[in-house]
């Protein structure tokens, strides 16, 4: 519903238009049947004026509801964020249409809230907004339309609720991941994850059906006269360095968000996973130079620092200097580390600098290249070709994927770990791969 519908302080209801239509049709019929049409037209005009006057009176007698927006928290990019409005009715039933003027850059669902409240009732109404860009945005007033008791006129007014809200990376996803990681390190889930994985001794426990007999501690078994297993856990206090490309390729839109935003969400999720496993986590964001460098630290207090430091950064139309980024890692980080670089890969020629840079990380570090693929290319490559244009598009997409596969295979031959996944699915796959690397003691 357009904002212009809320412009007038009184808006006639559908019942008013129906009454005006009945009066007009009746007046015209009487005028056609009568020799003198003037009395009929005068009667019709009087009828219409009475209807309009009643509508105005009905809207003026409305007992306004009390409405407010609950305080806005930080919003997550690329997510449906819930917004809550508190409405309290007066002594009479309230039929309402409410529009909260969220920033134009957001998609609101639903745009108009419609509700009928019994007398003296407080209710919370919820709608969702979907931001596609990070930054600060101004929220407008709340527009309210309330129907009069006779159902003839809507009373229209605004409730000043202007405020500023910040859109952050995917904080909702971070909260879900935090719960998942906590469950994996407590109770039976922790025990199941630990058993047979990792490199550091954690505890002894009794052998059970289905356990790996290779983990039996025979010395402890001999001392206690019962089968005991060694429970291992991934080594802690290792170092994880995450490099995020913010160059030209990362400005492309993928499923509604910039590829850089998908990468930033993955960076923060990976950092959370590393910190939860006791590792030191550092982050670098680069283009032609190292735009931001956050030295490795451990502990959960490091994550808020990363969020605040990285949130304002936007991608730029510059070619990235992969070799410069790797050189910074060599200068800043002397101990062996897992170095994860998030970018995109085209082919061996266009990604020659990337191939050279990742090769320079071995064998001192464990390099890990993460390529954020555009799923649209996969769709085009698998599409049925009913005409020549579609066939040509499919051939181009297949060639792009083939060239990409060759470049990634070259990296793998050089000892670089590879993850190639659609940009909007990269976060979960990256976190899972990191946990596997930790569990297998690859670092």
In DSSP notation, 322-372 reads HHHHHHHHHHH--S--EEEEEE----TTTTHHHHHHHHHTTTTSEEEEEEE
Tokens of 221: 């078994």
Contact by Cβ (8 Å): 54, 147? no
**What is the DSSP code (8-state) at residue 216?**
B
SS3 content of the chain, % helix, strand, coil (to 5): 40, 30, 30
List, run by run, the mean pLDDT of 10-residue segments along the chain (443 residues).
Answer: 52 85 78 69 82 87 92 94 95 94 93 94 96 94 93 91 95 94 65 48 66 70 72 73 97 95 98 95 97 95 96 96 95 93 91 93 94 93 83 88 93 94 96 92 81
Find the Cα–Cα–Cα–Cα dihedral 332, 245, 316, 263, rounded to 10°.
Answer: -130
Q: Measured between alpha carbons, how far is 327 from 329 in angstroms, rounded to an integer?
A: 5
Contact by Cβ (8 Å): 292, 243? no
Contact by Cβ (8 Å): 100, 69? yes
Please, which residues bridge with residue 232 across strands?
201
pLDDT of residue 234: 56
The answer, yes or no, to whether the previous bond of 110 is cis (omega within 30 of 0) is: yes
Residue reference for tokens 């030191």: 280
DSSP 358-418: HHHTTTTSEEEEEEEE-HHHHHHHT----SHHHHHHHHHHHHHHHHHHHHHHHHHHTT-EE
Q: In b/e form, how buried is each residue of 359-395, taking b as 16+ CB within 10 angstroms?
A: bbbeeebbbbbbbbbbeebeebbeeeeeeeeeeeebe
Q: Please, is 180 exposed, middle or buried when counting C-beta atoms within 10 Å of its C-beta (0-12, 13-18, 19+)?
A: middle
Tokens of 379: 């769709």
- Cα-only R_g, the chain: 32
- Coil, helix or strand at residue 279: coil
Print the SS3 string covering 35-62.
CCCHHHHHHHHHHHHHHHHHHHHHHHCC
Contact by Cβ (8 Å): 329, 284? yes
pTM: 0.82
pLDDT of residue 187: 47
Q: What is the distance of C-alpha 166 from the center of its chain?
A: 14
Residue in 255, 287, 256, 282 with CA at minimum distance from that of residue 270: 282
Q: Measured between alpha carbons, how far is 267 from 273 in angstroms, rounded to an integer?
A: 10
pLDDT of residue 193: 43
Angle between helix 302-310 and 259-276 (nearest 10): 170
**What is the DSSP code (8-state) at residue 5?**
G
The answer, yes or no, to whether the previous bond of 174 is cis (omega within 30 of 0) is: no
Q: In b/e form, how buried is each residue of 269-299, taking b as 16+ CB within 10 angstroms?
A: bbbbbbbbbebbbbbbbbbeebbebbebebe
């Amino acid at each position: 519903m357009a904002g212009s519908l809320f412009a007038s302080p009184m808006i006639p209801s559908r019942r008013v238009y129906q009454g005006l239509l009945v009066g007009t049709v009746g007046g015209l019929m009487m005028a056609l049947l009568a020799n003198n049409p003037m009395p009929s037209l005068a009667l019709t005009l009087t009828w219409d004026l009475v209807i309009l006057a009643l509508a105005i009176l009905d809207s003026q007698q409305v007992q306004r509801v009390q409405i407010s927006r609950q305080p806005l928290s930080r919003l997550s990019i690329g997510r449906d964020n819930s917004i809550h409005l508190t409405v309290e009715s007066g002594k009479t039933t309230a039929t309402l249409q409410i529009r909260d003027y969220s920033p134009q850059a957001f998609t609101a669902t639903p745009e108009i809230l419609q509700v009928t409240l019994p007398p003296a009732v407080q209710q919370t109404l919820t709608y969702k907004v979907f931001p596609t860009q990070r930054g600060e945005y101004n929220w407008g007033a709340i527009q309210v339309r309330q129907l009069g008791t006779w159902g003839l006129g809507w009373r229209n007014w605004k409730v000043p609720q202007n405020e500023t809200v910040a859109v952050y990376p995917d904080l909702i996803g971070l909260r879900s991941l935090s719960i998942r990681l906590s469950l994996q390190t407590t109770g039976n889930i922790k025990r199941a994850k630990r058993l047979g994985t990792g490199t550091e001794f954690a505890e002894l426990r009794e052998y059970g059906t289905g356990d790996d007999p290779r983990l039996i501690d025979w010395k402890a078994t001999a001392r206690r006269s019962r089968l005991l297993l060694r429970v291992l856990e991934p080594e802690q206090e290792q170092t994880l360095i995450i490099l995020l490309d913010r160059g030209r390729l990362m400005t492309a839109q993928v499923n509604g968000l910039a590829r850089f935003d998908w990468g930033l969400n993955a960076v923060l999720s990976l950092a959370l996973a590393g910190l939860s496993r006791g590792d030191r986590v550092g982050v670098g964001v680069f283009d032609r130079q190292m735009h931001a460098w956050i030295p490795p630290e451990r502990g959960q207090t490091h994550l808020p620092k990363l969020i605040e430091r990285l949130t304002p950064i936007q991608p730029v139309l510059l070619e990235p200097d992969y070799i410069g980024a790797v050189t910074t890692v060599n200068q800043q980080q002397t101990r062996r580390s897992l170095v994860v670089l998030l970018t995109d890969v085209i082919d061996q020629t266009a990604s020659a600098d990337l191939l050279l840079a990742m090769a320079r990380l071995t064998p001192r570090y464990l390099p890990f290249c993460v390529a954020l693929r555009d799923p649209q290319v996969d769709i085009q490559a698998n599409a049925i070709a009913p005409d020549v244009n579609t066939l040509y598009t499919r051939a181009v997409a297949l060639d792009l994927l083939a060239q990409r596969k060759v470049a990634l295979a070259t990296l793998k031959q050089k000892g670089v770990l590879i993850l190639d996944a659609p940009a909007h699915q990269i976060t979960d796959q990256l976190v899972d791969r990191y946990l596997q690397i930790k569990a297998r003691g690859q670092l």
